[in-house]
Amino acid sequence: MRRLHPREIIALGFVLVLFGFLAPFLMTIKVVEASFFLSFLSFGASVSGLLLGIVGAAWYSRLGKR
């Protein structure tokens, strides 16, 4: 299994945070029907994307110091 580079982890975190923003936005303007599952999925994606972004940024800064 291949290890991810910190930039890839940051990009994955960005995609998850973007989904966590777009899903509630689309539910608000009634493009997508609001559901309990989709609400929790978007919340989980937002939180996990934020954590992945922080971990990726810390890892990237640690690589730069070597």
pLDDT in tens, 15-48: 999 999 999 999 999 999 999 999 999 999 999 9
Regarding pTM above 0.85, the answer is yes
Q: What pLDDT does residue 2 have?
A: 81
The end-to-end CA distance of the chain, in Å, is: 24
Give me the domain span that covers residue 31.
Answer: 25-66
Residue 18 lies in a domain: no
62 within a domain of the structure (yes/no): yes
pLDDT at 36: 95
Output the pLDDT for position 66: 63
pLDDT band (50, 70, 90) for residue 64: confident
Instruction: Answer whether residue 65 is part of any domain.
Output: yes
Position 13 in a domain:
no
The answer to whether residue 9 is domain-embedded is: no
Q: Is residue 44 part of a domain?
A: yes
If one counts every other C-beta atom within 10 angstroms of the C-beta of residue 9, the result is: 19
35 part of a folded domain:
yes
Q: Count how many domains the chain has.
A: 1
Q: Radius of gyration over alpha carbons of the chain, in Å?
A: 15
